[in-house]
């Protein structure tokens, strides 16, 4: 069942077609009195720009409305059409998850391979295996945590009948939408990482910032009296100077995008969404460590 992209009100059809398929009439939301989904007439490029700008309406359009059947004014309504439409939607969402998962794995692998001058086929394959395991671990843990929170809140699986529920996200929710949302939100950080990695050179582990001692000594307060504070400051500076800031920046952007996408899809509080995203990150980091040990990737 499609929904209004402004207020998530459930609707039977987004638009009506008449004798000619190009002659359509957009449906109006009974709650907010706006067109249910004006994005059905937009080009894929506009949708991509909306996705990059993290507009909530594009998430609702892609997750719930894309490919839904219109009301045909020239044909009588069929009772089995709704069930067939539900099955088709589920199949389409599963296909989207598989395709996007492949794209994300490929982009992440390429972005990791590009800085390596001496990359061989076997090393590329190892990196790809590691990326598949990290991404799968992140998605599995994020999905599990999100479903636990939704069960605890009684949102999904629903307690009692959904008759009269006016939140279309809940009426038509399936767990596959969670990994699909994560994949949509990971596209922008990955593309950014992919493009920037062409010009980016990884930090030299042997590099030591020469100006740091001078900087510490030039502070208006003297921290030499507190050797522990000075030691911590030096350690932090060392970690920061050797960190891959491109990786950190894109990961931070990815986390924020994922949190935003999940907030559009789910009724969770900001702290719950943050915890769900962090759990997924922790799982990916754990899987990365495990794969380093197994493959030496
Ligand atoms: Zn509405």
Q: How do residues 168-201 score in pLDDT, each as one tens digit?
A: 999 999 999 999 999 999 988 888 887 887 766 6
Whether 218 shows a pLDDT value over 70: the answer reads no
Q: How do residues 56-112 score in pLDDT, each as one tens digit?
A: 999 999 999 998 888 888 877 776 777 788 889 999 999 999 999 999 999 888 888
d(CA 296, ligand 1 centre) in Å: 52
d(CA 259, ligand 1 centre) in Å: 23
d(CA 71, ligand 1 centre) in Å: 18
d(CA 175, ligand 1 centre) in Å: 24
d(CA 19, ligand 1 centre) in Å: 27
> pTM score > 0.95 for this model?
no
Whether 29 shows a pLDDT value over 70: the answer reads yes
Q: Give the mean pLDDT of 125-149.
A: 95
d(CA 60, ligand 1 centre) in Å: 12
d(CA 33, ligand 1 centre) in Å: 6
d(CA 65, ligand 1 centre) in Å: 13
d(CA 127, ligand 1 centre) in Å: 45
Label residue 220 by pLDDT band (50, 70, 90): low
d(CA 35, ligand 1 centre) in Å: 8
- DSSP for the chain reads --B-TTT--B-S-SEEE-SSTT-EEE-B-TTT-SBS-GGGGS-HHHHHHHHHTT-HHHHHIIIIITTPPPEETTS---TTHHHHHHHHHHHHHHHHHHHHHHHHHHHHHHHHHTT-TT--HHHHHHHHHHHHHHHHHHHHHHHHHHHHHHHHHTTTTTSS--TT---HHHHT--TTHHHHHHHHHHHHHHHHHHHHHHH--PPPTT---TTHHHHHHTSSS--TT-HHHHHHHHHHHHHHHHS-HHHHHHHHHHHHHHHHHHHHHS---HHHHHHHHHHHHHHHHHHHHHHHHHH--
């Amino acid at each position: 069942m499609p929904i209004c992209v402004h207020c998530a009100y459930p609707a039977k059809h987004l638009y009506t077609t008449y004798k000619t398929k190009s002659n359509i009439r957009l449906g109006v939301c009974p709650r907010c009195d706006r067109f249910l989904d004006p994005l059905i007439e937009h080009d894929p490029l506009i949708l991509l720009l909306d996705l990059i700008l993290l507009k909530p309406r594009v998430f609702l359009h892609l997750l719930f409305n894309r490919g839904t059947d219109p009301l045909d004014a020239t044909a009588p309504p069929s009772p089995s059409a709704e069930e067939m439409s539900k099955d088709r939607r589920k199949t389409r969402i599963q296909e989207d998850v598989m395709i996007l998962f492949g794209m994300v794995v490929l982009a992440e692998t390429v972005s990791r391979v590009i800085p390596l001058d001496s990359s061989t086929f076997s090393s590329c394959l190892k990196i790809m295996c590691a990326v598949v395991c990290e991404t799968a671990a992140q998605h599995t843990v994020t999905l599990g945590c999100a479903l636990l929170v939704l069960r605890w809140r009684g949102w999904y699986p629903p307690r009692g009948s959904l008759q009269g529920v006016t939140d279309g996200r809940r009426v038509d929710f399936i767990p596959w939408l969670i990994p699909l949302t994560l994949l949509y939100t990971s596209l922008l950080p990955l593309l950014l990482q992919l493009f920037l990695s062409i010009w980016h050179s990884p930090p030299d582990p042997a590099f030591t910032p020469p100006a740091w001692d001078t900087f510490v000594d030039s502070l208006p307060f003297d921290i030499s009296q507190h050797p522990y504070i000075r030691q911590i400051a030096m350690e932090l500076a060392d970690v920061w100077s050797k960190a891959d800031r491109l990786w950190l920046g894109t990961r931070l952007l990815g986390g924020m995008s994922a949190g935003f996408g999940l907030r559009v899809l789910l009724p969770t509080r900001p702290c719950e969404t943050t915890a769900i995203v962090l759990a997924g990150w922790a799982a990916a980091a754990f899987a990365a460590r495990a794969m380093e040990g197994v493959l030496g990737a």
